[in-house]
Structure 1
């Protein structure tokens, strides 16, 4: 099976994949085989292998099977107060009630696909396509830390106050980023996440 990969500068390789599940699977595969890579960075549809010799790594990637199942890590439960300012809009988009939005969201198990945007911000995959919600037309200048929000089929929790255009459905007090913790991110890629109504 051929893998679409290309050198990015003298010491990195970017691999295209079908989606976040394959990105997690490839990242785990690279780590399990102890390929000579300094850093493995999964994203929504790519994996960056940094600190590598492209000539040495590209042939090794030919052995990866993209159908491999994405690994999942430990489960983290996040207590949420569902009182977000976009809760009514999400209920309208889903064609249901606010109570049903809470019930559906809390029934899902999300998986941290990758981290980005801000330290500790995990892009959580697991919202079905039929529950996809659009981003705001214009981002808010300030979203409070701990805001639980949706955009497209992603869920996320803002680790710090920042601008943002996601639909806020609730809030949590959980600490998402702590440099005294190893790893500092509470929800590194592969972590399973359940939201529990407070």
Structure 2
């Protein structure tokens, strides 16, 4: 673990794994004066209302925390109705050594956790992807991935909240009646937040 000052009122905690990130985020959640916690793949940014003595506070708290286990979350579960007709579904199935039907069943049988958000507003990196579906990105990224596309890349699965370039292997898409992943007119604007549990439900 490594701590870095970020401006006058924030501390960046550098960690070694997603498990440590989740554990550190949980430990820091109740620290007095915290305004925002921003997890990423290997860091947590802790922003405070004021910065005096905060580096020491963060250091002391995390030195006494168990960062080896991700905490059990009491966050909500979000179900995403999904249609599995993606252009890379057969590629993912072949690479995994599974039938298309078993690939869909495997993806929908898992419960995922939002590890962090990034890339674009509303994009959530979901952990919990079954091992056979952990596959590399495409050799050549697409210049346009449609909104709602469901993809896998490495240890993550996720859904594109808006049309954008992207290199993830696409399994399908969200059903048309699914709530928007990001809506600036909604509070909160993002449907998914770190710590949320997510399940995909085949239509």
Query: What aligned pairs does 1:134-173 form with structure 2 within 5 A after superposition?
Result: 134-172=136-174, 173=176
Residue in 1 aligned with 2:20? 22
1:87-102 matched pairs, under 5 angstroms: 87-102=89-104
Does the residue aligned with 1:38 lie in a helix, a strand or coil?
strand
Structure-1 residue corresponding to 2:182: 177
Q: What is the alpha-carbon distance in structure 1 between the residues aligned to residue 182 and residue 19 of structure 2?
A: 23
Partner residue, 1:191: 196
- For the Cα contact (< 8 Å) 1:79–1:196, is it kept in 2? yes
- Scaled by the length of structure 2, what TM-score is found? 0.88
Structure 1 residue 67 displacement after superposition: 3.0
Query: Aligned pairs, how many?
Result: 195
Q: Distance in 2 between matches of 1:61 and 1:181?
A: 36
TM (normalized to structure 1)?
0.90
State how far apart, in whole Å, the 1-side matches of 2:99 and 2:18 are. Answer: 30
Q: Which residue of 1 aligns with 2:38?
A: 41
| 1:68 positional shift | 4.8
> Which segments of structure 1 move beyond 4 Å, counting only runs of 4 or more?
none
- Structure 1 CA distance, aligned partners of 2:79 and 2:159? 13
Is the 1:28–1:71 contact (alpha carbons within 8 Å) kept by the matching residues of 2?
A: no
Two-structure CA RMSD over aligned residues (Å): 1.8
- Following superposition, the deviation at residue 167 of structure 1 comes to 0.4
Q: CA deviation at 1:13?
A: 1.5
Structure 1: tracts of 5 or more residues without a match: none
Give the distance between the partners of 2:47 and 2:58, measured in 1 at CA. 15
Structure 2 residues without counterparts, runs of 5 or longer = none
- Structure 1, 55-64 or 149-158: larger mean CA deviation: 55-64
Alpha-carbon spacing, 1:42–1:68, altered in 2? closer, same or farther (3 Å): same
Offset of residue 54 of structure 1: 6.7
